[in-house]
Structure 1
Amino acid sequence: MISPADKPALRSRMLGLRREAARQWPAAGEHLARNFPDDWLPAAGTPVAGYWPLDGEIDPRPLMRRLAARGHPLCLPVVQGQGRPLVFRAWTDGDALLPGGLGVMEPLADRSPLKPGLVLVPLLACDGSGNRLGFGKGYYDFTLAGLRAAGPVRAIGLSFESQLLAVIPAQAHDQPLDGLVTESRALDFRLS
């Protein structure tokens, strides 16, 4: 059993595994896009929050292009500061991006804020109950808590299959994922 005290070492190990998976499977994002279940899509026209991949994260852009082609406005996260939730700004494939907080590529400040009904979430690891291991700053936890308090939103993790672990310890503030999509399959945690 992994304890919360073990999380820093686990993060380091999972970051290495993720980078290796990205080197071995450069087309994994294309497979992931095909594995995303149609019945997980929100109502037509509902904004979808993606992310710009960094540091070995599985590439969500093929899936984001698929969702945009189905009429979903896209947005990307913007870091507001430590302890604050992310905001999402409109983004269209080809728009200029600037490096923001933590080196994350963000839409320009003049882009409209959007409230997503579907959030595609990057991660270091995930377990079969939807517990997610990120970098420990809590950005997605704060953000998902706020979005869920305001109305229905679905949070779907995107990862390589090798990032799936048996158990990740959850703390009171952790927001579970509703599902996970990898290059191999989709897992619906709401059915667990």
Structure 2
Amino acid sequence: MVITAYPIVNNLIIDKINMRKQIFRLLERLSAEAMGAGHKLVINLFEALSPCSGMVVSGYWPMRYEINLLPCLNALCSYGCRTALPVILPDEHVLIFRAWAPGDQLVKGLYGTLEPSHEAEVVYPTLLLVPLVAFDRSGNRLGYGGGYYDKTLVSLREWLTIQAIGVAYAVQEVDCVPVGAHDVMLNGFLTENGFIEISE
């Protein structure tokens, strides 16, 4: 099911707030079976993106209604990839990524997120698995409003070849995400139903 986006009007912030509310209401109604769809991501991830042993891959610790990425991170570690989680640097309004593997300690970060400890090594992922609220087939992502990933992706792409892949339930797809000048497009979207590649 594809949700029709709210019409884009002059107030971009209101459009984004309304779309977030719409998606959150939808996710609240997901069945228990759908909530277990994270395991389906593993097959789709390896078929579509072919991660290599030794590659640094960033993920996220799932919160609220986010699709469970932990099975993917476990599989990536088993395959020989180095996995990492984002850490928010509020003063710089940007993210860094610290090495993390299943079983490693996590600490509470800004906005209630869980992050690797400050002792964990800072790493630079070439594959980023990015959480989101909504996405469209033009490569646009609606996040939570902080702009951390947008600024981080711009910074990384200045000196590193990366793939930034949004991860979500298939029902989080919309016709058109309201976007502003500083919103950054992603390279594709991974859902429990498959992979959506975005052509450049």
State TM-score, norm by structure 1. Answer: 0.93
Tell me if the contact between 1:22 and 1:58 (Cα under 8 Å) persists in the aligned partners. no
> Shift of residue 19 of structure 1?
3.4
Tell me if the contact between 1:50 and 1:76 (Cα under 8 Å) persists in the aligned partners. yes
Aligned equivalent of 1:171: 180
> Shift of residue 22 of structure 1?
6.7
Distance change >3 Å, CA 165–CA 46, structure 1 → 2: same
Q: Which whole-Å CA distance do the structure 1 matches of 2:166 and 2:31 have between them? A: 16
Q: Which whole-Å CA distance do the structure 1 matches of 2:176 and 2:49 have between them? A: 24
Map 1:1-192 → 2, pairs under 5 A: 1-3=7-9, 4=12, 5-21=14-30, 23-81=32-90, 84-190=93-199
What is the count of residue pairs matched by the alignment? 191
Aligned-pair RMSD on alpha carbons?
Answer: 1.7
The letter of the residue matching 1:80 is L
> Shift of residue 175 of structure 1?
1.0
* Identical positions, percent: 37
> Shift of residue 38 of structure 1?
3.6
Distance change >3 Å, CA 22–CA 29, structure 1 → 2: farther
> Shift of residue 35 of structure 1?
1.3
Q: Which whole-Å CA distance do the structure 2 matches of 1:43 and 1:31 have between them? A: 20
Q: Deviations over 1:118-148 (max 9, x none)?
A: 0000000000111000111101101111111
Unaligned runs of 5+ in 1: none
Secondary structure at the residue paired with 1:190?
Answer: coil
Unaligned runs of 5+ in 2: 1-6
Distance change >3 Å, CA 102–CA 147, structure 1 → 2: same
Structure 1 moving runs of 4+ over 4 Å: none
Distance change >3 Å, CA 22–CA 92, structure 1 → 2: farther
Tell me if the contact between 1:19 and 1:55 (Cα under 8 Å) persists in the aligned partners. no
